[in-house]
Chain A
Amino acid sequence: MHIYANPKRFLKLANWLMPLLFWGGAGLALAGIFWGLFMVPPDRLMGESVRILFIHVPAAWLGMGGWAGLAIACAALLIWKHPLSGIAARAIAVPGMVFTAICLATGSIWGRPTWGTWWEWDGRLTSMLVLLFLYGGFIALAQASAREGGSFKIPAIFGLVGAINVPIINRSVVWWNSLHQPPSITVGKSAIDPVYLWPLLAATVGFSLLFGALVMMRMRALIAEQQVEARLRRRALDDDQTGHDAPTGSVAQSGGGDTGQSLGNA
Chain B
Amino acid sequence: MREALDHWPFVIGAFALGMGAIAILTAWSYTTMRRAEARRDAMKRR
The yes or no verdict on A and B being binding partners is yes
Across the A-B interface, give the 4 residue pairs with the lowest CB-CB distance, nearest first: A224-B36, A48-B7, A49-B7, A221-B33
Q: Which residues of B in the span 7-34 have a Cβ within 8 Å of any Cβ on A?
A: 7-8, 10-11, 13-15, 17-19, 21-22, 25-26, 29-30, 32-33
Contact of B14 among A95, A109, A210, A231 (CB under 8 A): A109
- The verdict on B43 contacting chain A, using a C-beta distance below 8 Å, is yes
Give the residues in chain A near B2, CB-CB below 8 Å: none
Which of A51-59, A158-166, A193-201, A258-266 is the contact stretch? A51-59
A93 within 8 A of B: no
Report how many residues on chain B are interfacial, defined by Cβ distance under 8 Å: 26
Not counting A42-B7, A105-B18, a sample of 15 additional A-B residue pairs whose C-beta atoms are within 8 angstroms of each other reads A33-B15, A33-B19, A55-B15, A55-B19, A98-B25, A101-B21, A102-B17, A113-B5, A113-B7, A210-B22, A214-B25, A221-B35, A222-B36, A227-B40, A228-B39
B20 to chain A, nearest CB (A): 10
**Alpha-carbon gap, A113 to B37, bound state (A):** 46
Binding site for B on A (CB under 8 A): 33, 37, 42, 47-49, 51-52, 55-56, 59, 94-95, 98, 101-102, 105-106, 109-110, 112-113, 207, 210, 214, 217-218, 220-222, 224-225, 227-228, 231-232
Query: Is B25 a contact of A109 with CB atoms below 8 Å?
Result: no
The chain B residue sitting closest to A91, CB to CB, is B29
A47–B5 Cα distance when bound, in Å, is: 10
Q: How far is the CA of A228 from the CA of B8 in the complex (A)?
A: 49
Is A228 in contact with B14, judged by CB distance below 8 angstroms?
A: no
With beta carbons under 8 angstroms apart, the residue of A37, A112, A218 that contacts B10 is: A112
Specify which chain B residues have a CB less than 8 angstroms from the CB of A112 in the assembled complex: 10
Which residue of the partner chain A has the closest CB to B28? Answer: A94
Identify which of A33, A102, A110, A220 contacts B33 (C-beta below 8 A): A220
CB distance from B25 to the nearest CB of A (A): 5
A218 and B14 in contact (CB under 8 A), knowing A48-B7, A228-B39, A228-B43? no
Asked whether, in the complex, the Cβ of A224 is within 8 Å of the Cβ of B33, the reply is: yes
Closest chain B residue to A107, Cβ basis:
B14
Task: Indicate which residue in B10, B15, B32, B36 contacts A228 across the interface (CB closer than 8 Å).
Answer: B36
C-alpha spacing A225/B36, complex, angstroms: 6
The interface residues of chain A lying within 8 Å CB-to-CB of B25 are 94-95, 98, 214
Instruction: Check A221 against B7 for contact (C-beta < 8 Å).
Output: no
Q: Are the C-beta atoms of B22 and A221 separated by less than 8 Å?
A: no
> B17 touching A109 by the CB < 8 A rule?
yes
Docked pose: A59 CA to B14 CA in angstroms: 12
Instruction: Return chain A residues, CB-CB under 8 Å to B26.
Output: 210, 214
Given contacts A95-B25, A106-B17, A214-B25, contact A224 B39 (CB under 8 A): yes
Whether A110 touches B14, Cβ cut-off 8 Å, given contacts A94-B25, A101-B21, A221-B32, is: yes
Contacts A105-B17, A221-B33; A52 near B10 (Cβ below 8 A): yes
Question: A101 — which chain B residues lie within 8 A by C-beta?
Answer: 21
